[in-house]
Amino acid sequence: MSEQGLQGTEAAGTGIVLTSDGMVLTNNHVINGATSLSAVDIGNGRTYSASVIGYDRSHDLALVRLHGASGLQTLSLAAGTHVSVGDAVTALGNAGGRGGQPSQAAGSVTALDQRITATDEGSGSSEQLSGLIQVDAQIQAGDSGGPLVNAQGQVIGIDTAASVGYQFQSAPTEGFAIPATQAQATAEAIAAGHASSSVHIGATAWLGVGVGTANQYSATNGAAVVQVVPDSPADHLGLIAGDVITSVDGASVPDPNTLTALLGQHHPGDTVTLGWTDAGGQAQTARVVLGTGPAG
């Protein structure tokens, strides 16, 4: 369960226990926006507080640590296992966020190497998720992060489904999973602390704005500020709704996706130079210390 304090909501998902001491792989969108995390291990019934080790927005994956866990039952990702259209599969998860024993949704693989667009309503950014396994199993919100298994019981993918504040541009009858090979590569990179252009390690740097595509709100290209969180770095800087963020440390910000990516290269406590055009059309620049934001 992720509590999204800034949005006043909660989101439920599923995770795969990779190590007996509580390293869990799930979807990034399950933990995205979370101000606190907890998890119930179905093997022992215990509830654990949890924290995010790192995440990869571009592949919708996150690695979480359960605090105080030991002796947990684990699952292995069947990376490299051949997957074909027509293969029978079962999606396991927490359909509808009801908890208890895992839900099961049977189906088959209908396509490989699929691409969908996922939109984060909180940040205004979107990601192109690619290389996905498409299935006709009824994967539901709450199943996100759970295992997709083949007829031999091997974990061939990670279920991914739209959730609170995170929407897919796809038909409701289509289900998708991230291939186990990609999931394992991302999990290993995060566990090793290897940050990259897609992998973020540690806490999330935070400006404290909600943004949209500027041309919807302004004649200036950039990330248009539509909301400023009170007492956030952006609020202290004096940003207001109607301003348009145009650069971070001199790098151009043509849209919300770029702003998210540039801030994602930083950590709480970092100082950046922000450029913006105010509601009166005047160009402004100022240095700002980034805060600690919600996960993901």
* Token pair for 61: 């994956």
CA distance 295 to 57: 11
**8 Å CB contact between 124 and 256:** yes
Residue 280: burial class (beta carbons within 10 Å; 0-12, 13-18, 19+): exposed
The residues facing 21 across adjacent strands are none
CA distance 286 to 52: 30
Does the active-site annotation cover 38?
no
Does the active-site annotation cover 144?
yes
Catalytic residue among 126, 144, 218, 232: 144
Give the residue from 39, 13, 28 showing the smallest Cα distance to 143.
Answer: 13
Catalytic residue among 29, 59, 200, 266: 29
Question: Strands 175-179 and 204-206: what pairing?
Answer: unpaired
* Token pair for 151: 């007829």
CA distance 119 to 165: 8
Does the active-site annotation cover 70?
no
**8 Å CB contact between 277 and 293:** no
Task: Return all residues near 229 (Cβ < 8 A) that are at least 6 apart.
Answer: 6, 208, 209, 210, 235
Catalytic residue among 41, 56, 60, 120: 60
Contacts within 8 Å (CB) and 24+ apart, 257-265: 257/125, 257/126, 257/127, 258/223, 259/125, 259/211, 259/223, 260/57, 260/120, 260/123, 260/125, 263/205, 263/206, 263/207, 263/290, 264/57, 264/200, 264/204, 264/205
Task: Return all residues near 71 (Cβ < 8 A) that are at least 6 apart.
Answer: 20, 44
**Which of the residues are catalytic?**
29, 60, 144
